[in-house]
Amino acid sequence: MTDWVGRSAADIAAAVRSGEVTARSVVDEHLAVIDAGDGPINAFNLVTADAARQSADAVDATIAAGGDPGPLAGVPVALKDNLCTRGIPTTCSSRILEGWRPPYDATVVQLLASAGAVSVGKTNLDEFAMGSSTENSAFGPTRNPRDPSRVPGGSSGGSAAAVAAGFTPVALGSDTGGSIRQPAALCGVVGLKPTYGLVSRYGLVAFASSLDQIGPFSATVADAALMLGVIAGHDPADSTSIPEPVPSYTESLSAGVAGLRVGVVRELTGEGIAPDVAARVNAAVAALSAAGAEVTEVSVPAVTYGLSAYYLIAPAEASSNLARYDGVRFGLRVDAPTTDAMMTATRTAGFGAEVKRRIMLGTYALSTGYYDAYYGKAQRVRTLIARDFAAAYDTVDVLVSPTSPTTAFAFGAKADPLSMYLNDVCTIPSNLAGHPAISVPFGTGDDAMPVGVQLMAPALAETTLLSAAAVLEAASGVAS
């Protein structure tokens, strides 16, 4: 009985609201599929089946009493395990937080529940969201549902895999340098990184605070719009949250691209991009053109410095944010005679190699004598990137590039840290600028693995981004 597995969140919510199916029945179907299928995939760190059934029953009770549970009524969702859930373990896939139960819910978790969504569990990630393959998890890697010998991408690999495997129609991830868009591309689902500040980060465990943003995974563009409408909006608990009203993202979805000015980013479509990925991006651009968009090639020169700037700025912010894991207030403590020794023993035992690498890199980039050469210079480059984007958006409405230079790679294929970091070259610029970007599946590469096409837009232009994405989605089934 899997009548509702594989259906969109929009369909499920409509059916639950109309009484066609109960939320309990929908969640039971999804829990059964997770139970049967997640062993080899390992998308979930924790499945909260009992809590999910209780939430679903509450949704059904609301409907029985004549109420409306909300736009995500009865929709099963998966949450990246760096989103705080009250009383439910939140590990960031790190030993240092193993067993910790947050005393509060992230704002997005509250918003989903208020909209009638049913959380089914916490998904795997690269430890503290640092990675592009989900191989850095303390609880073992997640495997790509399209080919279990390959990585799902990362860091939100568990959420991407959960949606790709049909475990949930939608999921939440976080994106600091591509951690939603890249796994979405590698798993063949839609992944949206909203404008910085559009979605509250309250309760998202911080990695790099000037870059982190929460966003949705979904099988369809319409579900991405539906999810964004629920989680977007000002939150007094996040001082970086934008105090602007939220438009309807679903109403404008069918606006089309007639007359839309689309720019292909020269610096992100040439050298370093696999030929089969480049071919799919070309096909996507042709599809946008065929749908009425005015396509040109544009140059955003400073994005070529994005990778270097990011791998100085993000580790610098991380080295500060992760200072809080010291064995005093939460999580792991390794006993030692003095507090200083206890902190060192705890952090040494609790953090994995990639987290240590980034903490040290960030500490170095911020240290006396190197601050100006590395961190200071990277911040100036960030200005250059923002300026070059602004100049590009004087002439176009949307930018196009690949999401990732290649399709999903094999486990262990990028053991050298720098080669792993190079995966993020196309996604990082939008984080540095604070702009929204979305990855839309557009066919497959020579290896039959999914290819994602990235659309980028200026701050708060999500409506344009989503309507262009909807055109790509419609064309992806017919263009080849």
Partner 1 sequence: MTSRITADDVVHVARLARLSLTDDEVTTFTDQLAAVLDHAADVEALSIDDVPPMIHPWPLRNVMRPDEVGATLDRDEVLAHAPATEEGQFRVPAILGDEP
374 is an interface residue for partner 1 by CB under 8 A:
yes
* Residue selected from 167, 389, 409, 421 as contacting partner 1 according to rule CB under 8 A: 421
Distance from C-alpha of 462 to C-alpha of 53, rounded to nearest angstrom? 33
Q: Does 382 bind partner 1 (CB under 8 A)?
A: yes
Which positions ≥6 away from 271 have C-beta within 8 Å? none
What are the start-end ranges of the H helices in 20-106?
23-41, 49-64
Q: Is the backbone of residue 454 left (phi > 0), alpha (psi -120 to 50) or beta? A: beta
Residue 413 lies near partner 1 (rule: CB under 8 A): no
Smallest distance from partner 1 to CB 416, Å = 7
Closer to partner 1 by Cβ: residue 32 or 384: 384
Alpha helices per DSSP H over 68-119: 107-114
Quote the tokens at residue 388.
Answer: 């070059």
CA distance 279 to 17: 42
CB atoms within 10 A of CB 418: 9
Ranges within 284-313 binding partner 1 (CB under 8 A): 304-305, 307-309, 311-312
344 binds partner 1 (CB under 8 A): yes
Q: State how far the Cα of 253 lies from the Cα of 231, in Å rounded to an integer.
A: 17
Whose Cβ is closer to partner 1: residue 292's or residue 412's? 412
Instruction: Report the b/e string of 136-146 with b at 16+ CB within 10 A.
Output: bbbbebbbbbb
Task: Rule CB under 8 A: say whether 234 interacts with partner 1.
Answer: no
Residues 8-67 that bind partner 1 (CB under 8 A): none
Nearest to 161, CA basis, from 174, 178, 146: 146
Q: Cβ(63)–Cβ(154) under 8 Å?
A: no
Q: Is the CB of 286 or the CB of 390 nearer to partner 1?
A: 390
User: By C-alpha distance, which of 18, 148, 94, 42 is closest to 358?
Assistant: 94
Name which position in 8, 54, 240, 282 contacts partner 1 (CB under 8 A): 240
- Interaction between residue 271 and partner 1 (CB under 8 A): no
Chain-centroid distance of CA 333 in Å reads 30
Least separation, in Å, of the C-beta of 422 and partner 1? 9
Tell me the C-alpha distance between 306 and 454, whole Å: 16
Query: Token match 């200026």: residue?
Result: 458
Q: For partner 1, which residue of 149, 245, 329, 477 counts as binding (CB under 8 A)?
A: 329
Site for partner 1 in 207-226 (CB under 8 A): 210
Which residue among 9, 300, 359, 440 contacts partner 1 (CB under 8 A)?
359
420 binding partner 1? (CB under 8 A): no
Q: Is 273 in the site for partner 1 (CB under 8 A)?
A: no
Task: Choose the stretch contacting partner 1; rule: CB under 8 A; options: 42-50, 221-229, 283-291, 321-329.
Answer: 321-329
Which of 110-118, 149-157, 354-362, 406-414 is the region at the interface with partner 1 (rule: CB under 8 A)? 354-362
> Taking the complex as a whole, how short is the minimal distance between the CB of residue 123 and partner 1, in angstroms?
21
Least Cβ distance, residue 459 to partner 1 (angstroms): 8
Phi, psi of 82 (to 5 degrees): -115, 15
Work out the angle between the directed axes of helices 49-64 and 9-18 (0-180°, nearest 10).
50
Q: Closest approach of Cβ 160 to partner 1, in Å?
A: 24
Q: Scanning residues 433 to 462, which ones bind partner 1 (CB under 8 A)? A: 433-434, 459
Annotated catalytic residues are 80, 155, 179
Q: Within 99-158, which residues bind partner 1 (CB under 8 A)? A: 99-101, 103-104
Residue 149 or 338 having the CB closest to partner 1 = 338
Residue closer to partner 1 (CB basis): 146 or 193 = 193
CB 460: neighbour CB atoms within 10 A? 20
Residue 91 interacting with partner 1 (CB under 8 A): no
Cα–Cα dist 310/174, whole Å: 16
